């Protein structure tokens, strides 16, 4: 790769201007933190007065909101501008081989997604009277923006091009991180104002923080069409279309059914996939929002493929099933990548969509089976099977009541259940394994004493994985966790275990890393569906069983 030549003096001046602008933005962000701290302290000092005089309370809250809204918009705008500038510079790059060219094509898509979600974040801050009720959504978007940039970088083979791409995105990632930090600080401090007031007003605040349910027990954001679907007797909704390989349905392929979704369809679109093995790459595009796909069972209605890294396909593009459209629900479906362990990275499903739900589904592969790429995701009563890093990505994801099945790898390979990819400490992402069973499959069972198996390893610097209230069978190595390489991330990661059981759950011989924790109940509560996914806002749906809190 070669860069376009720039005039040295002009480049130094441009760099200086950018540095001055960054300093102004950072100064603004720091100032907003100080301002909020002062206002919060004032609010605490005048609790009695504020409880009697709503005018002062409202004035302070409004003042703090308008100031911080401006700083937050500036921080997000800065991230957007930096990202645009960084990507524009890549137009002067000359790529040396087809692998770099293909990686760049992936980057174009990822950058479009990042820009779209930065725009959505700015609009949300501007349009809402207070953005505190949109905090989970904002954090999800901005965390994903960081993930998209890192995914772009990861797609390039090792070498100078990858190093240069990484440098290009440093500033935009930093500003996005600052935006996340500011949102966290703002919502924390503004909650101080909401806590100040009469008992009547406090009660109203508490009520407004809960999900509003109608007379049928549905959240108020569920539309008329969703209510019609969810009222159907039994767990399975009435389909809009049916897919059947034998020709008895509306379509013979899943892709044909997806192509027939009306462009302006209102409500939830339901596709019933009858029993059969469907050998096709399926993509739920970003335009296909609120799609439900269900089958006759996770070992009956199966989508399969065999794209893989060894055959020249980038990991990002190997997935048999891809979900980009938000609000997706999958039930009683199977997703496979049958490339085998000798083909290395081969993804069965890649999920990028926000508020994605899978229930009673099965994901089968070997290395990199399930790519939980970004946003908020929930898996209930699912089976995930694989060998190396078979659950990986940078989503905020909870696996609940699932079976994580470790398969027999190639000779001299180790098994690793998770490889979480959090790249920034401000991201609200991580893998939570709650009330699951981690077990060996039939082929591994007689060989498990010869194969080392670990709960996870740090794919990125701030990797975060929590295993709690789960059953861990005797296949897990006493260390529990495996380094990625040398000392990388061992001080910055967050790995935790809480109240697990089974012969593999003993923590007495676990790794002695700064980032490893055996946590108590108070800490574990941070990683429940209620707190980690804000699940009360979007998972209260009939037909999807959810445990919002700890079991004990």
Cβ-contact 406, 453 below 8 angstroms: yes
- Please state, as a whole number, how many other Cβ atoms lie within 10 Å of the Cβ of residue 55: 8
User: What are the Cα distances from residue 410, in Å, to 38, 258, 476?
Assistant: 59, 37, 17
Cβ 340 vs Cβ 364: under 8 Å = no
How many Å separate Cα 393 from the centre of its chain? 7
Q: Indicate the angle between helix axes 135-154 and 160-168, nearest 10 degrees.
A: 160
Q: Provide Rg for the chain, Cα atoms.
A: 24
424 noted as active-site residue: no
Burial of 2 (0-12, 13-18, 19+ CB in 10 A): exposed
Task: Compute the distance between CA of residue 219 and CA of residue 212 in angstroms, rounded to an integer.
Answer: 6
Residues 283-318: b if buried by 16+ CB within 10 A, e if exposed: bbeeebbbbbbbbbbbeebbbbbbbbbeeebbbbbb
Q: Which helix (H) or strand (E) holds 378?
A: strand 376-380
Phi, psi of 40, deg, nearest 5: -65, -40
Dist. CA 532–CA 428, nearest whole Å: 8
> Which residue among 226, 354, 389, 537 is the active-site one?
389
CA distances from 86 to 111, 166, 287, 478 (A): 10, 10, 27, 45
Beta carbons of 165 and 153 less than 8 angstroms apart: yes
Look at residues 432, 535, 550 and name the one whose alpha carbon lies nearest to residue 136. Answer: 535
Nearest one of 425, 436, 427 to 497, comparing CA atoms:
436
DSSP-derived secondary structure letter, 414: P
Of the candidates 139, 146, 126, 11, which has an alpha carbon nearest to the alpha carbon of residue 79? 146
305 close to 281: Cβ distance less than 8 angstroms = yes
Are residues 177 and 426 in contact, defined by beta-carbon separation less than 8 angstroms? yes
How far is the CA of 393 from the CAs of 183, 190, 423, in angstroms?
A: 23, 32, 11
Nearest to 315 by CA among 337, 293, 295: 337
Name the β-bridge partners of 243.
251, 273
Residues 357, 382, 327: CA angle, nearest 5 degrees: 5
Provide the annotated active-site residues.
389
């Amino acid at each position: 790769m070669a860069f376009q030549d720039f005039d040295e003096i002009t480049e130094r001046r441009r760099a200086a201007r950018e540095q001055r602008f960054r300093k102004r933005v950072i100064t603004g962000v720091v100032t907003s933190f100080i301002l909020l701290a002062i206002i919060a302290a004032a609010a605490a000092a005048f609790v009695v007065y504020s409880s009697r005089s709503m005018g002062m309370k409202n004035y302070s809250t409004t003042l703090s909101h308008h100031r911080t809204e401006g700083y937050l918009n500036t921080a997000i705008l800065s991230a957007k501008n930096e990202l645009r500038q960084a990507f524009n510079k890549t137009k002067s790059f000359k790529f040396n081989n087809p692998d770099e060219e293909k990686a760049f094509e992936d980057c174009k898509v990822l950058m479009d997604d990042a820009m779209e979600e930065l725009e959505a974040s700015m609009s949300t801050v501007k349009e809402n009277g207070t953005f505190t009720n949109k905090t989970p959504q904002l954090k999800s978007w901005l965390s994903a923006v960081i993930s998209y940039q890192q995914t772009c970088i990861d797609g390039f083979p090792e070498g100078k091009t990858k190093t240069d791409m990484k440098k290009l995105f440093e500033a935009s990632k930093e500003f996005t991180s600052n935006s996340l930090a500011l949102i966290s600080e703002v919502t924390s401090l503004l909650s101080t104002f909401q806590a100040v007031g009469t008992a009547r007003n406090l009660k109203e605040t508490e009520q407004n923080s809960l999900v509003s349910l109608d007379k049928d027990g549905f959240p108020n954001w569920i539309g008329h069409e969703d209510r019609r679907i969810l009222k159907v007797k039994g767990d399975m909704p009435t389909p809009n279309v049916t897919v059947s390989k034998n020709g008895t349905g509306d379509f013979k392929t899943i892709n044909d059914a997806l192509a027939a979704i009306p462009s302006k369809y209102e409500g939830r679109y339901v596709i019933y996939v009858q029993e059969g093995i469907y050998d096709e790459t399926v993509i739920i595009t970003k335009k296909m929002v609120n799609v439900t796909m269900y089958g006759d069972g996770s070992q009956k209605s199966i989508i399969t493929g065999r794209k893989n890294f060894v055959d020249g396909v980038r990991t990002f593009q190997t997935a048999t099933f891809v979900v980009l459209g938000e609000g997706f629900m999958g039930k009683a479906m199977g997703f496979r990548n049958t490339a085998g362990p000798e083909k290395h990275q081969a993804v069965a499903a890649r999920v990028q969509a926000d508020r994605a739900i899978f229930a009673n589904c099965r994901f089968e592969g070997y290395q990199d089976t399930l790519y939980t790429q970004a946003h908020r995701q929930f898996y209930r009563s699912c089976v995930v099977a694989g060998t190396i890093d078979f659950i990986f990505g940078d989503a905020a994801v909870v696996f609940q009541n699932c079976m994580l099945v470790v398969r027999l790898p190639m000779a001299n390979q180790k098994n690793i259940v998770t490889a979480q990819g959090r790249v920034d400490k401000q991201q609200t992402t991580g893998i939570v394994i709650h009330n699951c069973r981690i077990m060996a499959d039939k082929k591994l069972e007689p060989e498990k004493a010869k194969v080392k198996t670990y709960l996870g390893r740090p794919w990125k610097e701030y990797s975060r994985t929590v295993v709690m209230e789960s059953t861990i069978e005797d296949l897990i190595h006493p260390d529990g966790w495996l380094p990625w390489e040398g000392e990388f991330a061992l001080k910055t990661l967050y790995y935790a275990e809480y109240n697990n059981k089974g012969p593999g759950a003993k923590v007495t011989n676990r790794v002695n890393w700064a980032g490893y924790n055996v946590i108590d109940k108070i800490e574990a509560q941070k990683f429940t569906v209620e707190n980690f996914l804000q699940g009360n806002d979007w998972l209260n749906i009939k037909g999807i069983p959810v445990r919002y809190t700890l079991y004990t």
